A and B are shown apart, each in its own frame.
Chain A
Amino acid sequence: MNYTASELMTINAARLLRDGDRVFVGVGLPNLACNLAMRTHAPHLVMIYEAGVIGARPSRLPLSIGDPTLVSGACSVVGMYDIFSLYLQRGYVDVGFLGGAQIDQYGNINATVIGDYHRPKVRLPGSGGSMEIAAWANRCYIITPHQKRRFPARVDFRTSAGFLGGRAEREATGVRGKGPQAVVTNLGILEPDENGELILTALHPGATFEQAQENTGWPLRAAPRLLTTEPPTAEELRILREELDPQGIYLKGS
């Protein structure tokens, strides 16, 4: 069966979500992954948007996280201070999706700057909500293409915390969230080991460990039992193509 890298990543991310999860959703692939999970194995998933929307039921694909379709039919809408304090800081968010230009060996993310902060070579959008999501959501997931420049050994700037220099270092800070649980790429899935280092735990059908290593900026280790992910099913692809992104805004291409 043919599918794009975006479809493959979205489907594998959707499978990580559990029924009843309260998910802080971003636009693009995380939004599609949540909607796919709701239409398959997780009908009771609750979508929360940092714009302050809880229990969104979007009737069209939103371009931004503040789209009016997220509001109409939602369970609740609150202000920005409330969504970050009462919901996220207080601990009511199970899952957060994160993204960024760089992800390092310990799952720290840079969405701020390439080069020196005060004399930026490339100025990126910055934290938005990700600094707090990475700290306080119970579990975090990252969806990203597997490219060497996106996976340096160390990020130029820690916009949001993974395991810092190792799992013990994150735990010593006392933050409530458990940190990144999986990075879903077009080649496979990386997960933190007991020390918080991202290791390859699964490959998608047809991908090889060598490909993953070539596209990773640190000496990548494979889990003792390296799994192969189940290929996308016809039903998962049908929902994505016919119901969620019929115009192929996010899923077309490679």
Chain B
Amino acid sequence: MTNKLCSLNEAIAQFVHDGDTIYAAGFTHLIPFAAGHEIIRQGRRNLTLARATPDLIYDQMVAAGCARKIIFSYIGNPGVGSLRIVRTEIEAGRLEWEEYSHFSMISRLQAGAAGLPFMPMNPTAAGDLERVNPNYRRVTDPYTGREVVTVPPLTPDVAIVHVQRADVHGNAHIWGIIGEQKEAAFAAKTVILTAEEIVDEAVIRSDPNRTLIPDFVVDAVCHVPYCAHPSYTQGYYDRDNAFYLEWDKISESPEETQRWMEEWVYGVKDRTEYWQKLGEETHRRLHVRPRLSHPVNYGDY
């Protein structure tokens, strides 16, 4: 097993190229904002950004001019409303898009992750999305003769997956909402892992059922505490709902958006500086009290 530890700056420089398809994973939870900001700082262009819920991370990357196209199943600011920048760019005809439902989006990743040519799904009776997106097809089930809906595999060039803890080889423990973390890691050609904590291999081996990602699909391991803010890491810090509400105001105006980017993305060197800049009051507000699970006995065999 190789030690893949490197800085996030190095990982993005080495593995993310102009024109790549990126999947920054995380269903509300574990969204790797620090990686999105590093991609913006390094000035990547013409990216295809895929995520079930583009969330603020892709709103910011689109605002910074990184993206040519977006692949999604829900473009909202979760619990708040519209994802204003992505929406405006689509309405203005400046951003290409490819759209799915959540189940078809995750089915695409599942096909990519499992090395399958497509995934079948039962029909939903709502035909309009199938009509406007030619990636939806129908085939006949060879066993019953009934039709099933299919989608092709999604195999991103790079998946960025944030986790609670990993060893230096890339074996990763994840808990809480696990979303599409595992599928994204297996589907992608290259995987950048970011972790709240780098732990000894013995910690990973103490709880093997919690290892959703094995080292051999991982290319880079980056130690990035607070990587997910304003999203969250279960057990480490809370979701910054106040910022999600604030972004709704900031993103109304291109000037405000630009000012915010200057201050919080271009104006900081890395995530450590960003977290310090947020200040103690925010740190206190996002602090979370422990709630431990009951220990599991694997047995000493």
User: In the bound complex, do residue A68 and residue B182 qualify as a contact, i.e. CB atoms below 8 Å apart?
Assistant: no
Tell me which residues across on chain B come within 8 A of A159, comparing CB atoms: 126, 128-129
Q: Mark A35-61, 1 if CB is under 8 A from B, else 0.
A: 000000000000000111100000000
User: In the bound complex, do residue A62 and residue B103 qualify as a contact, i.e. CB atoms below 8 Å apart?
Assistant: no
Given A88-B103, A128-B73, 7 additional A-B pairs, CB 8 A: A68-B232, A68-B234, A123-B87, A127-B100, A158-B126, A159-B128, A164-B125
Tell me which residues across on chain A come within 8 A of B128, comparing CB atoms: 112, 117, 157-159
What is the total number of residues of chain A having a CB less than 8 Å from a CB of chain B?
Answer: 57
Given contacts A63-B239, A65-B78, A135-B126, contact A50 B90 (CB under 8 A): no
> What are 15 residue pairs bridging A and B, where the CB atoms are less than 8 Å apart in the complex?
A65-B78, A67-B28, A68-B176, A79-B178, A79-B182, A80-B27, A80-B180, A112-B99, A125-B76, A128-B102, A129-B101, A157-B128, A158-B127, A173-B125, A174-B123
Q: Ordered nearest first, which 7 A-B pairs have the shortest CB separation?
A: A66-B28, A125-B76, A128-B74, A161-B125, A64-B78, A64-B79, A135-B124
Q: Which of A52, A122, A174 contacts B27 (CB 8 A)?
A: A52
Closest residue of chain A to B76 (Cβ to Cβ) is A125
Shortest Cβ distance from residue A212 to the other chain B in the assembled complex, whole angstroms: 26
Q: B241 on the interface (CB 8 Å rule)?
A: yes
Tell me which residues across on chain A come within 8 A of B244, comparing CB atoms: 63-64
Q: Which of A62, A65, A85, A132 contacts B124 (CB 8 A)?
A: A132
User: In the bound complex, do residue A131 and residue B103 qualify as a contact, i.e. CB atoms below 8 Å apart?
Assistant: yes
User: In the bound complex, do residue A125 and residue B82 qualify as a contact, i.e. CB atoms below 8 Å apart?
Assistant: yes
Shortest Cβ distance from residue B295 to the other chain A in the assembled complex, whole angstroms: 17
What is the total number of residues of chain B having a CB less than 8 Å from a CB of chain A?
Answer: 56
CB-CB contacts below 8 Å: A195-220 with B: none
CB-CB contacts below 8 Å: B228-255 with A: 232, 234, 238-239, 241, 244
Q: A97 on the interface (CB 8 Å rule)?
A: no
Q: B164 on the interface (CB 8 Å rule)?
A: no
Q: A229 on the interface (CB 8 Å rule)?
A: no
Shortest Cβ distance from residue B167 to the other chain A in the assembled complex, whole angstroms: 22
Q: B225 on the interface (CB 8 Å rule)?
A: no
User: In the bound complex, do residue B102 and residue A79 qualify as a contact, i.e. CB atoms below 8 Å apart?
Assistant: no
User: In the bound complex, do residue A51 and residue B27 qualify as a contact, i.e. CB atoms below 8 Å apart?
Assistant: yes
Q: Mark A135-165, 1 if CB is under 8 A from B, else 0.
A: 1100000000000000000000111110010
Q: B203 on the interface (CB 8 Å rule)?
A: no
Q: Which of B74, B90, B125 contacts A123 (CB 8 A)?
A: B90
Q: Mark A59-97, 1 if CB is under 8 A from B, else 0.
A: 000111111101111000111110011001100000000
Shortest Cβ distance from residue A31 to the other chain B in the assembled complex, whole angstroms: 10
Closest residue of chain A to B133 (Cβ to Cβ) is A117
Given contacts A127-B101, A132-B102, contact A79 B79 (CB under 8 A): no
User: In the bound complex, do residue B52 and residue A131 qualify as a contact, i.e. CB atoms below 8 Å apart?
Assistant: no
Q: B205 on the interface (CB 8 Å rule)?
A: no
Tell me which residues across on chain B come within 8 A of A81, comparing CB atoms: 106-107, 109-110, 180, 183
Distance A176 CA – B121 CA, assembled complex (angstroms): 13
User: In the bound complex, do residue B101 and residue A132 qualify as a contact, i.e. CB atoms below 8 Å apart?
Assistant: yes
Q: B72 on the interface (CB 8 Å rule)?
A: yes
Q: B269 on the interface (CB 8 Å rule)?
A: no
Q: Mark B167-208, 1 if CB is under 8 A from A, else 0.
A: 000000001111111110000000000000000000000000
Q: B259 on the interface (CB 8 Å rule)?
A: no
Closest residue of chain B to A130 (Cβ to Cβ) is B101
Q: Which of B76, B124, B291 contacts A131 (CB 8 A)?
A: B124
User: In the bound complex, do residue A71 and residue B177 qualify as a contact, i.e. CB atoms below 8 Å apart?
Assistant: yes
Shortest Cβ distance from residue A96 to the other chain B in the assembled complex, whole angstroms: 12
Q: Which of B28, B91, B288 contacts A64 (CB 8 A)?
A: B28
User: In the bound complex, do residue B91 and residue A122 qualify as a contact, i.e. CB atoms below 8 Å apart?
Assistant: yes
Q: A237 on the interface (CB 8 Å rule)?
A: no
Distance A130 CA – B128 CA, assembled complex (angstroms): 13
Distance A44 CA – B197 CA, assembled complex (angstroms): 39
Tell me which residues across on chain B come within 8 A of A118, comparing CB atoms: 132
Q: Which of A50, A73, A173 contacts B102 (CB 8 A)?
A: A50
Given contacts A174-B123, A175-B122, contact A51 B103 (CB under 8 A): no
Shortest Cβ distance from residue B81 to the other chain A in the assembled complex, whole angstroms: 9
User: In the bound complex, do residue A131 and residue B101 qualify as a contact, i.e. CB atoms below 8 Å apart?
Assistant: yes
Q: B116 on the interface (CB 8 Å rule)?
A: no
Distance A157 CA – B91 CA, assembled complex (angstroms): 16
User: In the bound complex, do residue B124 and residue A161 qualify as a contact, i.e. CB atoms below 8 Å apart?
Assistant: yes
Distance A160 CA – B106 CA, assembled complex (angstroms): 18
Q: Which of A67, A157, A161 contacts B239 (CB 8 A)?
A: A67
Closest residue of chain B to A110 (Cβ to Cβ) is B128
Shortest Cβ distance from residue A83 to the other chain B in the assembled complex, whole angstroms: 9
User: In the bound complex, do residue A119 and residue B239 qualify as a contact, i.e. CB atoms below 8 Å apart?
Assistant: no
User: In the bound complex, do residue B102 and residue A71 qualify as a contact, i.e. CB atoms below 8 Å apart?
Assistant: no
User: In the bound complex, do residue B74 and residue A125 qualify as a contact, i.e. CB atoms below 8 Å apart?
Assistant: yes
Q: Which of A66, A77, A131, A176 contacts B78 (CB 8 A)?
A: A66
Shortest Cβ distance from residue A244 to the other chain B in the assembled complex, whole angstroms: 16
Tell me which residues across on chain A come within 8 A of B102, comparing CB atoms: 50, 80, 84, 127-129, 132
Q: B80 on the interface (CB 8 Å rule)?
A: yes
Tell me which residues across on chain A come within 8 A of B241, comparing CB atoms: 63-64
